[in-house]
């Protein structure tokens, strides 16, 4: 959530930053309601002060011996009653204005950092670096991962439609084992890097989704339990960040690093016709997520480290990838700055996103009220929150199935996964 005080005091600067994003955002409705709310608040404060004054005057006159039914007392009581009536009318209006302002603020995205490159859409993202060209596969006849997976008998999309619907998959035999091996490997790497492992709830409430920015704007992207105020988690970023909602931490507790494996659930409502085959855009997928809560002074450095922690998985697996800095037109709703890692998929001759590493600055912390207090200093500050995939497991599997594909149709297992999978090669499943 953006700072209302910042909008009020410098609306032109805030509007200029919002205009760098894709979308049409107008601060005027917030400014109008804010002025009206503050005028009501000032009027209410004046009336309340006069009401208190009348109470004191009546008490003083009674103490001095005035007749409780005398004209002087009755006039004051009448004025007091009129003020109570006015206050009873003003208070709900003020509450309504505050709720309307909050609703408007909740639909505004984060402000891009000044260092975030300008651009209209994903075509204007900036490539930062590439890694692993020496590991590009030499095989010229690489099948798409869904084809080789079905040939090997480890991916079953057709029967999964019968069980659920399209964009679901069942992993069979070595496919299920490979997914489990990747999850264990990723968690082992990230806990060794200093992240504390968490297994959070997969069902989360509306307040939790609001805290990290998925609600109210992106309700159509999530699956909701009809009979409860609970949603299936779209990413572990949401429950991990909200573990600290409405808390005041000690500065000595920062930074907080967490990692978590969870299944993730997304409707992919805006992706009709995209990636309809394979593991790239499923309604249910596994992911290892990284989340940081940090001091604002270390925020930018922590972001760079987060990216490196995600990159370390791809490097250990020897999967070629590139790092992109997202332009303002492609920036996620809650992000102030973001780097995407894109892994090479040789069957399509392109890089595809496998991790998005965002610095949300104080945007999520303001929505979720996550603060910290420094010893010896008055007041509190909002933490900065960061998140990134470390990594998306299905997309990692798809990259392995393609980059490690052998001419005879087998899959060489990356060296670092062999101790987890207890095999060196994937061959067609029997039966």
Give the tens place of pLDDT for each residue, 368-392. 999 999 999 999 999 999 999 999 9
Quote the Cα angle for 385-388-394, to 5°: 150
Q: Which tens digits make up the pLDDT trace of 83-97? A: 999 999 999 999 999
* Exposure of 415 in the CB half-sphere (CA atoms within 13 A): 3
Mean pLDDT of 275-295: 94
Predicted local distance difference test score (pLDDT) of residue 293: 98
CB 299 within 8 A of CB 386: yes
pLDDT > 90 fraction of the chain, expressed in percent and rounded: 90
Q: Residue 271's pLDDT is what?
A: 63
* Average pLDDT estimate for 118-143: 96
150 among known catalytic residues: no
Taking the C-alpha atoms of residue 385 and residue 363, their distance in angstroms, rounded to an integer, is 8
Catalytic pick from 21, 33, 167, 266? Answer: 266
User: What is the pLDDT confidence band of residue 139, given thresholds at 50, 70 and 90?
Assistant: confident
Task: Indicate which residue of 22, 353, 369, 374 is catalytic.
Answer: 353
Assign 273 a pLDDT band (cuts: 50, 70, 90): low
Among 160, 356, 389, 398, which one carries the catalytic annotation?
356
DSSP 8-state assignment for residue 266? -
CB neighbours of residue 274 within 10 Å? 9
Long-range contacts of range 263-271, CB-CB < 8 Å, 24 or more positions apart? 263/202, 263/233, 264/233, 264/234, 264/235, 264/236, 265/222, 265/223, 265/232, 265/233, 265/234, 266/221, 266/222, 266/223, 266/234, 267/220, 267/221, 267/222, 267/223, 268/167, 268/221, 269/220, 269/221, 270/221
**Residue 105: band (very low, low, confident or very high) from pLDDT cuts 50, 70, 90:** very high
Cis preceding linkage at 255, omega within 30:
yes
* Average pLDDT taken over every residue of the chain: 95
Catalytic residue among 289, 395, 398, 402: 395
Q: Can you tell me the mean pLDDT for 316-344?
A: 98
Measured in degrees and rounded to the nearest 5, phi and psi for residue 151 equal: -65, -40
pLDDT at 63: 85
Considering the candidates 20, 281, 322, 423, report the single residue annotated as catalytic.
281
353 is catalytic: yes
Q: What is the pLDDT of residue 272?
A: 60
**Within 10 Å of residue 337's Cβ, how many Cβ atoms?**
24
Reported confidence tier of residue 76, pLDDT bands at 50, 70, 90: confident
Report yes or no: 321 and 200 within 8 Å, Cβ to Cβ: no
| Domains detected in the chain | 4-106 (1.10.287.40), 122-426 (3.30.930.10)
Give yes or no for residue 431 having a pLDDT over 60. no
Kindly state the tokens that stand for 104. 């408007």
Question: Is the CB of residue 232 less than 8 Å from the CB of residue 219?
Answer: no
Helix 145-152, helix 174-192: angle, nearest 10: 120
Residues listed for the chain:
431
* pLDDT given at position 217: 93
Question: So what's the pLDDT on residue 268?
Answer: 83
Please give the pLDDT value at position 186. Answer: 98
Lowest mean pLDDT, pick from 30-34, 83-87, 255-259, 319-323: 83-87
Task: Estimate the crossing angle of helix 299-317 against helix 393-403, to 10 degrees.
Answer: 40
Alpha helices in 231-341 (DSSP H): 237-242, 299-317
Over range 404-412, report the average pLDDT. Answer: 96
What mean pLDDT is predicted for residues 242-249?
98
Per the annotation, the verdict on 266 as an active-site residue is: yes
Sequence-distant (6+) residues with CB within 8 A of 148 are 401, 402, 405, 409, 411
DSSP state of 405: B
pLDDT attached to residue 140: 84
- 352 flagged as catalytic: no
Least confident of 78-92, 107-121, 248-262, 382-396: 78-92
Closest CA to 270 of 230, 308, 219, 212: 219
Work out the pLDDT band at 274, boundaries 50, 70, 90.
confident
pLDDT in tens, 55-68: 899 888 888 888 87
Catalytic: 93?
no
Question: pLDDT for 16-50, tens place per residue?
Answer: 999 999 999 999 999 999 999 999 999 999 999 99
Element (H, E) at 413: none
Q: What's the number of CA atoms in the CB half-sphere (13 Å) around residue 360?
A: 32
Find the mean pLDDT for residues 130-157: 95
Alpha-carbon dihedral angle through residues 358, 361, 366, 367, given to the nearest 10 degrees:
-20
């Amino acid at each position: 959530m953006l700072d209302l005080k910042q909008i009020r005091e410098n609306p032109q600067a805030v509007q200029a930053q919002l205009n760098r994003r894709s979308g049409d955002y107008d601060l005027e409705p917030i400014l109008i309601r804010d002025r009206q709310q503050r005028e009501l608040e000032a009027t209410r404060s004046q009336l309340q002060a006069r009401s208190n004054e009348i109470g004191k005057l009546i008490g003083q006159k009674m103490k001095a011996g005035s007749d409780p039914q005398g004209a002087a007392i009755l006039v004051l009581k009448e004025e007091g009653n009129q003020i109570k009536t006015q206050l009873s009318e003003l208070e709900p209006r003020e509450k309504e204005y505050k709720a309307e302002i909050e609703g408007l603020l909740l639909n505004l995205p984060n402000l891009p950092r000044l260092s975030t490159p300008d651009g209209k859409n994903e075509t204007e993202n900036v490539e930062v670096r590439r890694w692993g060209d020496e590991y590009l596969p030499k095989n010229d006849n690489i099948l798409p991962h869904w084809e080789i997976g079905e040939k090997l008998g480890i991916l079953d999309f057709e029967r999964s439609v019968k069980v659920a619907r399209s964009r679901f998959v069942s992993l069979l035999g070595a496919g299920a084992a490979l997914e489990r091996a990747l999850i264990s490997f990723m968690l082992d790497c990230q806990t060794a890097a200093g992240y504390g492992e968490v297994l959070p709830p997969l069902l989360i409430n509306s307040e939790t989704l609001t805290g990290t920015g998925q609600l109210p704007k992106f309700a159509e992207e999530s699956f909701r339990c009809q009979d409860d105020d609970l949603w299936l988690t779209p990413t572990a970023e949401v429950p991990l960040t909200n573990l600290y909602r409405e808390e005041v931490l000690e500065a000595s507790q920062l930074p907080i690093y967490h990692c978590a494996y969870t299944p993730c659930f997304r409707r992919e409502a805006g992706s009709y016709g995209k990636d309809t085959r394979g593991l790239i855009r499923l309604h249910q997928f596994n992911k290892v997520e990284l989340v940081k809560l940090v001091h604002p002074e270390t925020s930018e450095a922590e972001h760079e480290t987060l990216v490196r922690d995600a990159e370390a998985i791809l490097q250990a697996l020897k999967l070629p990838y590139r790092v992109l800095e997202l332009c303002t037109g492609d920036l996620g709703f809650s992000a102030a700055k973001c780097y995407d890692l894109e892994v090479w998929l040789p069957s399509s001759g392109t890089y595809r996103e496998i991790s998005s590493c965002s610095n949300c600055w104080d945007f999520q912390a303001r929505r979720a009220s996550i603060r910290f207090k420094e010893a010896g200093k008055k007041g509190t500050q909002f933490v900065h929150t960061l998140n990134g995939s470390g990594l998306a497991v299905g997309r990692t599997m798809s990259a392995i199935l393609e980059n490690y594909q052998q001419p005879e149709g087998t899959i060489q297992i990356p060296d670092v996964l062999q101790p987890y999978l207890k095999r060196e090669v994937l061959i067609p499943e029997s039966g």
